[in-house]
């Protein structure tokens, strides 16, 4: 099998399906394109020989690669998500294939003067000599996470064609609405039946992640009182000024654009309204559980102080937890990280172990009893017009998955390795 051709062909088919998720929709999946891609994938999985292929009404696709060894082995899972980010259009994706990148600027769209340049994206230097897939400058690409889907399907295809590679049972799943935080909402982890799993949803070559943020969203409603400005003295209460005061109280340097590594932040993402009423939405992020709790308490304190200034019924704060740092669930089973590291090294890849400054479906799944670290998928500049992926890195991801499956069957001490399930 020509792995590079197979993974490119699959990826190019998948990105042409518009699967942009929609936070304003109450349905699951939130958009019909995700169901369309899910059905396409279910058909493809059956065609390559996977068993027990299913797609439910919510768009969750699952399938099984049966074990080809009689020895005890854990059931390993691999997951990727169907949807693309709501931040930019995923309709009419017109990918460009650059057979060999020789360096320098890549003109994505001559008419609109949209250029992917190493001056702005210096990591392009790492990809000289690679086959790159880019956008045409008018949409995102969808490597997050259709690269992961293409890699998982291709890896299963390889294993089906290579009976000499001994492995236990493998389960795969493709989930909807990860980009809007709902990817695990209706996922039945128990029915999935894996002892542990991996999301293939990371970025550049070698990424291996088992730490995510603790995450919450805060919504702050400001209830003002509108009076004609000519006679407003002592009467008007301006909801927008209350919102501005709330924002001014946030630590100036604890924002996404000024933090990195293990530093947390507050991130205002929207402010809507007028004098009478306004609503502010913020994201709260921190790797440490105690600091995470302190951040939520800080916002409550800000709200309380502003209530004392403007009136206790003028400000309403609601905080909703979104996901927690999966590290605490993965640390007791670090063998699953170790075999992923070994799989990369065996494929000639240097593992890059660092935290996810965000979350994956694995954050939720790990707390549902399915420990799920995250593997690289190869994309860069996710969620925008400058997104691209190296086909050569995608091939390395396929090889990593295949080797990981092999190692899982021969490594003692892993969850489920005693032969259960």
- Taking residue 116's Cβ as centre, other Cβ atoms within 10 Å add up to 24
Active-site residue identified among 145, 157, 178, 387: 178
DSSP states along 247-264: HHTS-TT-SGGG--TT--
Beta bridge partners of 174: 61, 80
- If phi over 0 gives left and psi between -120 and 50 gives alpha, with beta otherwise, what is residue 142? left
Active-site residue identified among 44, 83, 157, 211: 83
Judging by DSSP bridges, how do beta strands 61-65 and 51-55 pair with one another? Answer: antiparallel
DSSP states along 101-147: --SS-EEEETTTTEEE-TTT-GGGGGGTTS-EEE--SSS---HHHHH
- Which of these, 361, 345, 390, lies nearest to 126 by C-alpha position? 390
Sign of CA dihedral 307, 311, 315, 321: positive
Contact at 8 Å (CB) between 163 and 66?
no
Judging by DSSP bridges, how do beta strands 315-323 and 170-175 pair with one another? Answer: unpaired
338 is known as an active-site residue: no
Contact at 8 Å (CB) between 30 and 182?
yes
- Which of these, 345, 403, 376, 348, lies nearest to 158 by C-alpha position? 403
331 is known as an active-site residue: no
Contacts of 25 (CB under 8 A, 6+ apart): 31
272, HSE (Cβ side, Cα atoms, 13 Å):
4
Alpha-carbon distance 147 to 15, whole Å? 9
- Which of these, 352, 393, 363, 415, lies nearest to 168 by C-alpha position? 415
Owner of token pair 């057979």: 99
Which residue numbers are catalytic? 83, 178
């Amino acid at each position: 099998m020509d792995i590079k051709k197979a993974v490119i062909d699959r990826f190019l088919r998948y990105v042409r399906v518009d699967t942009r998720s929609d936070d304003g929709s109450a349905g699951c999946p939130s958009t019909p394109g995700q169901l369309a891609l899910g059905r396409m994938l279910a058909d493809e999985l059956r065609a390559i020989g996977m068993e027990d292929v299913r797609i439910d009404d919510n768009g969750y696709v699952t399938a099984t690669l049966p074990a080809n060894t009689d020895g005890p082995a854990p059931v390993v899972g691999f997951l990727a998500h169907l949807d693309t980010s709501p931040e930019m259009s995923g309709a009419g994706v017109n990918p460009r294939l650059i057979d060999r990148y020789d360096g320098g600027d890549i003109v994505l769209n001559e008419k609109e003067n949209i250029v992917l340049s190493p001056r702005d994206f210096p990591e392009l230097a790492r990809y000289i000599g690679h086959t790159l897939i880019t956008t045409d400058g008018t949409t995102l690409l969808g490597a997050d996470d259709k690269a992961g889907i293409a890699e998982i399907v291709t890896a299963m295809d390889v294993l089906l064609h290579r009976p000499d590679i001994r492995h236990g049972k493998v389960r795969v799943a493709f989930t909807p609405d990860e980009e809007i935080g709902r990817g695990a909402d209706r996922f039945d982890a128990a029915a999935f039946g894996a002892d542990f799993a991996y999301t293939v949803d990371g970025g550049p070559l070698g990424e291996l992640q088992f730490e995510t943020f603790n995450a919450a969203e805060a919504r702050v409603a400001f209830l003002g009182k509108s009076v004609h400005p000519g006679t407003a003295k002592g009467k008007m209460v301006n909801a927008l000024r209350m919102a501005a005061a709330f924002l001014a109280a946030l630590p100036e340097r604890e924002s996404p654009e000024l933090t990195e590594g293990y530093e947390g932040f507050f991130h205002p993402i929207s402010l809507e309204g007028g004098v009478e009423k306004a609503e502010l939405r913020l994201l709260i992020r921190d790797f440490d559980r105690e600091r995470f709790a302190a951040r939520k308490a800080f916002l409550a304190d800000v709200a309380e102080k502003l209530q004392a200034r403007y009136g206790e019924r003028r400000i309403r704060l609601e905080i909703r937890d979104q996901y927690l740092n999966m590290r605490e669930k993965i640390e007791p089973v670090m063998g699953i990280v170790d075999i992923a590291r070994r799989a990369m090294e065996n494929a000639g890849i240097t593992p890059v172990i660092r935290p996810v400054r965000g979350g994956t479906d694995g954050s939720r799944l790990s707390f549902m009893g399915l420990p799920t670290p995250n593997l690289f998928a190869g994309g860069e500049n996710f969620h925008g017009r400058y997104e691209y992926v190296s086909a050569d890195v995608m091939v390395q991801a396929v090889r990593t998955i295949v080797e990981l499956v092999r190692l899982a069957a021969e490594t003692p001490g892993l969850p489920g390795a005693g032969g259960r399930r």
